[in-house]
């Protein structure tokens, strides 16, 4: 069987890795970016995805990386995993998807197209109307960045939208391993599958915004949001996942998908109140945190701030909608002097492009040198194990702002500790 994956971002590569590690003898991995293809051929991977990279390296003989359309002729199925970023008006930009379909039309007279990209509801139908001889299968991905191979190979569920029973059967055969492992399969229309993806992502983002809003209330009332969220999550109907209060969600998925869903609904003359509120809370969350910083440092001009964590979440190199970008802008506008650190070189490089004036360090102790305060931006493991003796040695001031609630409020003895949804604490040793 000839299978072609088009679009080699983390979704496309996780698809490739899944297929070659679950029985496919060969997979053609296509991307029009020639530079990306050259580095993939040399087993240089663009993302900080250890499991994904290991599998691709191990199975490299089974993958044909190419940017030549001749290599993708007459496939049994084309998997679309291209990006669908937002246009300025919030609607999804389908130009990469349409380009991929144009290419498929040139190299195949009829086949299956499996859409793994997140696409507006109705996209599969439009493709069906446009193409003859092709069947269109909607199979949304549910992968979190940084663990895309793990999520693809151990999914909570497989969602398949199609019309013909042969198409459902095709996916079921391809995912025999999941069938054997008892992973639930949900068969539905293309529209329902497309909506399931958005509805799931927006639900998760609502959980985050809900806990962040409760955090503000907890703080006002003298409660502790981590205690509250822990006890809430013990009810399996609520669950612990996505209940960590913090600076809010970033990344290429939640913010983008929220906007796209609202746009889709508004075309149907519907305004979705809960997703709207989740998005608004998320925009105001870093501002709420920044106000705490301003309360502590009413004049930020000249204050030395060390930012720890630049990627949109721990363990990635991706800076899309990262909270570090929002905070850096606020700090610079007030004249603060910033130094910054992230363990990922890719994240540091991307940050340097956005803010060339900010001093970046490849080591967190160097970023802390002389800082009046440190600000934890991401939930990186090493930020949860800061050594107080080192902090005392490197820093000038004794204030820690924790945007991810990585410590118990009384953890630090020598530092003032200000987090989210919990009372601030003063040092108990001067």
- Select from 4, 253, 303, 374 the one that contacts ligand UGA (CB under 6 A): 253
Measure CA 37 to chain center: 23
Judged by CB, which is closer to ligand UGA: 246, or 286? 246
- Interface mask (CB under 6 A) for ligand UGA, residues 6-45, using x and -? ----------------------------------------
- Residue 251 is a binding residue for ligand UGA (CB under 6 A): yes
> Which active-site residues does the annotation give?
253
Contacts of 173 (CB under 8 A, 6+ apart): none
Stretches 43-51, 68-76, 220-228, 242-250: which one binds ligand UGA (CB under 6 A)?
A: 242-250
Q: What is the arrangement of strands in the sheet containing 3-6, beginning at the earlier edge strand?
A: 63-66, 27-30, 3-6, 77-80, 112-115, 135-138, 158-161, 185-188
Measured from the CB atom, the residue of 244 and 304 that comes closer to ligand UGA is: 244
Whole-number Å distance between alpha carbons of 414 and 429: 5
Q: Under the criterion CB under 6 A, does residue 383 sit at the interface with ligand UGA?
A: no
The region of 74-82, 102-110, 130-138, 140-148 touching ligand UGA under the rule CB under 6 A is 140-148
| Contact by Cβ (8 Å): 383, 376 | yes
Q: Which is nearer to ligand UGA, 111 or 123 (CB)?
A: 123
Q: Tell me the CA distances in angstroms from 428 to 50, 297, 386, 409, 416, one per residue in order.
A: 41, 20, 18, 12, 9
Residue 5 is encoded by which pair of tokens? 């994956």
Q: Quick one: tokens of 340?
A: 């910054």
Query: Does residue 275 touch ligand UGA according to CB under 6 A?
Result: no
Which has the closest alpha carbon to 199: 264, 291, 123?
A: 264
For the chain, report the end-to-end CA distance as a whole number of angstroms: 70
Length of the chain in residues, anyone?
Answer: 430
Burial class (CB in 10 A: 0-12, 13-18, 19+), 299: exposed
Query: 175: buried, middle or exposed (CB in 10 Å: 19+, 13-18, 0-12)?
Result: buried
Q: Please, what is the minimum distance in Å from the beta carbon of residue 214 to ligand UGA?
A: 12
Of 143, 174, 319, 377, the one binding ligand UGA (CB under 6 A) is 143
Q: Least separation, in Å, of the C-beta of 19 and ligand UGA?
A: 18
Ranges within 297-336 binding ligand UGA (CB under 6 A): 312-313
Count residues binding ligand UGA (CB under 6 A). Answer: 21
**84-123 footprint of ligand UGA as x/- string (CB under 6 A):** ----------------------------------x-----
> Nearest-CA neighbor of 405 among 425, 427, 426?
425
> Of 31-39, 68-76, 141-149, 354-362, which segment contacts ligand UGA by CB under 6 A?
141-149
Binding status of residue 414 toward ligand UGA by CB under 6 A = no
**Is residue 141 classed as helix, strand or coil in its secondary structure?**
coil
Q: Which is nearer to ligand UGA, 141 or 394 (CB)?
A: 141
* Cα 226 off chain centre by: 23
88, with CB counted inside 10 A (0-12, 13-18, 19+), is exposed
Segment lying near ligand UGA (by CB under 6 A), choices 64-72, 143-151, 177-185, 333-341:
143-151
Position 246 contacts ligand UGA (CB under 6 A): yes
Least Å distance between CB 331 and ligand UGA?
19
Judged by beta carbon, residue 156 or residue 182, the one nearer ligand UGA is 156
Write the DSSP assignment of 238-266 as a string of letters: T-STT---SS---SSSHHHHHHHHHHHHH
Q: For the window 179-218, what string marks contact with ligand UGA as x by the rule CB under 6 A? A: ----------------------x--x---x----------
The single residue among 244, 304, 398, 422 that binds ligand UGA, judged by CB under 6 A, is 244
Member of 250, 258, 275, 286 binding ligand UGA (CB under 6 A): 250
DSSP state of 408: -
- Binding of ligand UGA by 254 (CB under 6 A): yes
- Interface contacts to ligand UGA, rule CB under 6 A: 118, 141-145, 201, 204, 208, 242-244, 246, 248-251, 253-254, 312-313
């Amino acid at each position: 069987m000839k299978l072609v994956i088009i679009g080699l971002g983390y979704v496309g590569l996780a698809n490739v890795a899944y297929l070659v590690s679950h029985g496919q003898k060969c997979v053609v991995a296509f991307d029009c970016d020639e530079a990306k293809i050259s580095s993939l051929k040399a087993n240089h991977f663009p993302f900080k995805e250890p499991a994904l990279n290991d599998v691709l390296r191990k199975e490299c003989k089974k993958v044909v990386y190419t940017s030549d359309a001749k290599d993708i002729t007459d496939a049994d199925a084309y998997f679309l995993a291209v990006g669908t970023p937002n246009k300025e008006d919030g609607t999804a930009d389908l130009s990469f998807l349409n380009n991929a379909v144009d290419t498929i039309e040139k190299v195949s007279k009829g086949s299956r197209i499996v859409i793994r990209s997140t696409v507006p509801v109705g996209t599969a139908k439009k493709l069906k109307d446009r193409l003859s001889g092709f069947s269109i299968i909607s199979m949304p991905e549910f992968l979190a960045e940084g663990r895309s191979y793990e999520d693809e190979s151990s999914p909570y569920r497989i969602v398949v939208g199609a019309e013909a029973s042969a198409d459902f059967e095709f996916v079921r055969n391809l995912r025999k391993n999941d069938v054997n492992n008892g992973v639930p399969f949900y068969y539905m229309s293309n529209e329902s599958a497309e909506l399931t993806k958005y509805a799931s992502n927006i639900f998760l983002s609502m959980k985050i915004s809900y806990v962040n809003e409760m955090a503000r209330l907890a703080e006002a009332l003298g409660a502790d949001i981590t205690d509250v969220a822990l006890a809430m999550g013990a009810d399996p109907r609520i669950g612990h996942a996505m209940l960590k209060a913090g600076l809010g969600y970033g990344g290429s998925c939640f913010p983008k998908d929220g906007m796209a869903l609202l746009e889709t609904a508004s075309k149907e003359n519907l305004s979705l109140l809960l997703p709207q509120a989740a998005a608004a809370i998320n925009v105001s969350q870093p501002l709420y945190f920044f106000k705490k910083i301003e309360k502590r440092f009413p004049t930020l001009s000249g204050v030395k701030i060390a930012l720890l964590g630049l990627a949109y979440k721990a363990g990635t190199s991706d800076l899309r909608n990262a909270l570090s970008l929002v905070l850096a802008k606020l700090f610079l506008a007030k004249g603060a002097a910033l130094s910054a650190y992230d363990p990922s070189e890719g994240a540091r490089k991307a940050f340097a492009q956005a803010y060339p004036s900010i001093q970046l360090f490849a080591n967190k102790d160097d970023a802390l040198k002389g800082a009046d305060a440190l600000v934890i931006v991401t939930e990186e493991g090493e930020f949860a194990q800061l050594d107080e003796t080192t902090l005392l040695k490197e820093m000038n001031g004794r204030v820690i702002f924790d945007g991810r609630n990585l410590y118990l409020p009384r953890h630090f003895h020598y530092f003032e500790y200000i987090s989210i949804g919990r009372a601030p604490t003063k040092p108990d040793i001067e």
